[in-house]
Structure formats: structure tokens, C-alpha cells
A and B are shown apart, each in its own frame.
Chain A
Amino acid sequence: GENVEQHPSTLSVQEGDSAVIKCTYSDSASNYFPWYKQELGKRPQLIIDIRSNVGEKKDQRIAVTLNKTAKHFSLHITETQPEDSAVYFCAASIGYAGYGGSQGNLIFGKGTKLSVKP
């Protein structure tokens, strides 16, 4: 089955710096790669996602890149702010066109605890 590895496990940056989190996946059939931000005791909150037919996607200070050949994808946060501090999870899944296009279950990385120091 799919296995997702995420690095680093902890990341500390100064406010205004950039942060990069990297993930690799094992199953070449995976075609959907979301990133979630989770604050302590709260729900995982989708911040950006990318599908396998796209190499890069950007939303304001957040960008995700995907290298299908190498089977890795990365999250880039620029101009970090203290409120960006949280645990970030990458995930991978397979969309099942046969089920009317329903999305398969998510396999998560172990998470990265990002701390942004003022």
C-alpha cells in the first residue's frame, strides 16, 4: 500500500523567513496530494492541494510543487507569520474514477511541527 514520508518532523523559523516541508510517496498510482494544517486539538484544515496533472500551484504565500518522476512533493510558505505555527500534514490518495469520481482515502505523513518565532 501507499506510504508517505515527511521531513522535517520539526521546523523553527524566524518571522518573515520561508519554510519548506518535503514529502515522498511510494505508490505511483496516487494522483492527489493535499496539505493540511492542524492546530492543537482542532480539525485538519485543508490549505492547498495539487493533482498529478499539475506541477505547481500557488495561493498567496503558499505554494506546492510536485515531481511525479521522483514521487515527491513540497510545501513552500513564504513570509511566515506567528499564526502559521501549527502541525502540517502532507497526504496522498488515489481518485477512483470508477466510483463516479469519488476520492480515495488519504494516507498522511507523520507531520511537521512548524514554529514561527516573532
Chain B
Amino acid sequence: AAGVIQSPRHLIKEKRETATLKCYPIPRHDTVYWYQQGPGQDPQFLISFYEKMQSDKGSIPDRFSAQQFSDYHSELNMSSLELGDSALYFCASSAPLSSQYFGPGTRLTVL
């Protein structure tokens, strides 16, 4: 079965640089979620989109923005990167009232 696809899988950036993470949800899933997971931490909700409209917002820094495109893929844009932004970033998708399935994640390292 098709799964959530994320790219890139690994990303290394310098402080103050920008990064773009991409997510391709499972076909026919209408909701996309972004989570951030620091080392030894639980996943923290950042933002979600339902049918290409922002549906909920969590602890997403103002330096981050996201959008969902007409083909349902989503991008998380991160600017002015800080050391503390180093984490695993997961995208998840769900169909109406169904479970959330996570992608393999993007490991971001900020040097």
C-alpha cells in the first residue's frame, strides 16, 4: 500500500539558512499534519491542512510557514534556522475520521 512520502530524508544546514521540507500524503487522504520531534521527546504538532486550507496551528515558530498545494502535497518552509531547530520532522496524513499515518521523517541538522 502507498505510504506518506517525505523528502529529503536528511538535511544539513547552517544557522540562519533556510530549509524546505516536502510531504506527499497517501492518495485520497485529505488532511496533512506536520510534527516536530526532538531527541528523546514526543512529537509536537506544528500545523495541519484540510483540503488545502490551514485547519489547525500548534507550536509552530513564526519563522516557519507551510502550505498545501493543489495536488495535496505540502511543504514546510523554515527560515533563519537555529541550532534548536535540529530535530526529526514528520508529516502525517489521514482520510476523514481515519487514523493518521506518518511518513519516514526528515532529519534536520543545523550546524
A interface residues (Cβ-Cβ under 8 A, vs B): 34, 36, 41-46, 49, 89, 95-96, 99-111
Chain B residues with CB under 8 A of A45: 102
B86 within 8 A of A: no
Bound Cα distance A88, B100 (Å): 16
- Starting from the known contacts A43-B105, A101-B96, A105-B48, 12 additional A-B residue pairs (CB-CB under 8 Å) come to A34-B99, A43-B104, A44-B43, A44-B102, A46-B102, A89-B42, A89-B43, A96-B55, A100-B30, A103-B99, A106-B45, A108-B42
Bound Cα distance A96, B26 (Å): 20
Q: Select one of A46, A101, A111 contacting B97, CB under 8 A.
A: A101
Q: Is the CB of B97 within 8 A of A109?
A: no
Chain A residues with CB under 8 A of B17: none
Q: Is the CB of B42 within 8 A of A102?
A: no
Q: Is the CB of A102 within 8 A of B99?
A: no
Most chain B beta carbons < 10 A, residue from A44, A89, A96, A107:
A44
Bound Cα distance A42, B100 (Å): 16
Q: What number of B residues sit within 8 Å (CB to CB) of A?
A: 29
B101 within 8 A of A: yes
Q: Is the CB of B99 within 8 A of A105?
A: no
How many residue pairs between the two chains, A and B, have CB atoms under 8 Å in the bound complex?
A: 67
Q: Is the CB of B58 within 8 A of A105?
A: yes
What 4 pairs between A and B have smallest CB-CB spacing? A101-B96, A108-B42, A105-B45, A101-B97
B interface residues (Cβ-Cβ under 8 A, vs A): 30-31, 33, 35, 42-45, 48, 50-51, 55-56, 58, 88, 90, 92, 94, 96-105, 107
Q: Is the CB of A111 within 8 A of B105?
A: no
Chain B residue with minimal CB distance to A4? B42
Q: Is the CB of B55 within 8 A of A102?
A: yes
Bound Cα distance A45, B92 (Å): 11
Chain A residues with CB under 8 A of B56: 104-105
Q: Assuming A100-B50, A105-B33, is B42 touching A46 (CB within 8 A)? A: no
Bound Cα distance A101, B99 (Å): 12
Q: Is the CB of B90 within 8 A of A43?
A: yes
Most chain A beta carbons < 10 A, residue from B35, B48, B100, B101:
B100
